[in-house]
Amino acid sequence: MGNYKYDYCIGTANAALKKAVAAYLKDAGFYNCGEGKNIPEFLRALRLNQPWLAIIDTALPPGNIRQLASIIEEDGLAAALFIDTVIINMNGYMMLKWPVEAQVLSAVAETLCLEYARKKALKNQIKGLEKKLVNRKEIEKAKGILMQSLEIDEDSAYRYLQTRSMEKRITIIEMARAVIANPGYFSS
């Protein structure tokens, strides 16, 4: 697809706005991967294409642009840039008044994409840490069951989990879950 850095979807019923934005962003290395002329169509395009950037005309029909902004943010669909073609207050969201210079639009778009990538990476890191914490808690619970059932110390309980997981060719977390699910099976 050439030298594109990011893709975007645009939500507007204004053909002149769409054409100008496409020209500005193409020169900056952006690729248009979808569009919508109304809110439901635009949301479908975002969910289908999963772009880096959503560019939204504040006059996008029908209805509530603030609600659309909330959906995009809560579902993590894309970085959102609102183009203000009608007077609307979008506190808390990035908005540019139309018309806007090409350099300003492309710089803001790129910055939003970089920030979106950073947030996405942080969210993935948090999910990974949460999963590790849950796994660690399950291992600790299994060790506690084994320590009580087999009357062994903590290190021995951990080695037991390791050894049994290798024998059964399963992960240590799967072994811990088996101990938790059926603690009587592992009694002396």
Q: Which two tokens stand for residue 43?
A: 């949301």
Parse the chain into domains and list their residue ranges. Answer: 6-100, 127-186
- State pLDDT tens for residues 98-133: 999 999 999 999 999 999 999 999 999 999 999 999
Euclidean distance between CA atoms 99 and 20, whole angstroms: 9
pLDDT bin (cut points 50, 70, 90) of residue 1 is: very low
More confident residue, 169 or 91: 169
6-100: CATH topology is Rossmann fold (3.40.50)
- Residue 5 CA to residue 28 CA, distance in Å, equals 8
16/30 Cα distance (integer angstroms): 18
**How long is the chain?**
188
Indicate if the pLDDT at residue 3 is higher than 80.
no
Omega of the bond prior to 183 within 30 degrees of 0, cis? no
Q: What residue type is assigned to position 151 of the chain?
A: E
Query: What is the pLDDT at residue 92?
Result: 87
Spatial neighbors of 177 by CB under 8 A, at least 6 apart, are 138, 142
Asked if pLDDT for residue 83 goes beyond 60, the answer is: yes
| pTM, to two decimals | 0.74
In CATH, 127-186 is 3.20.20.80: no
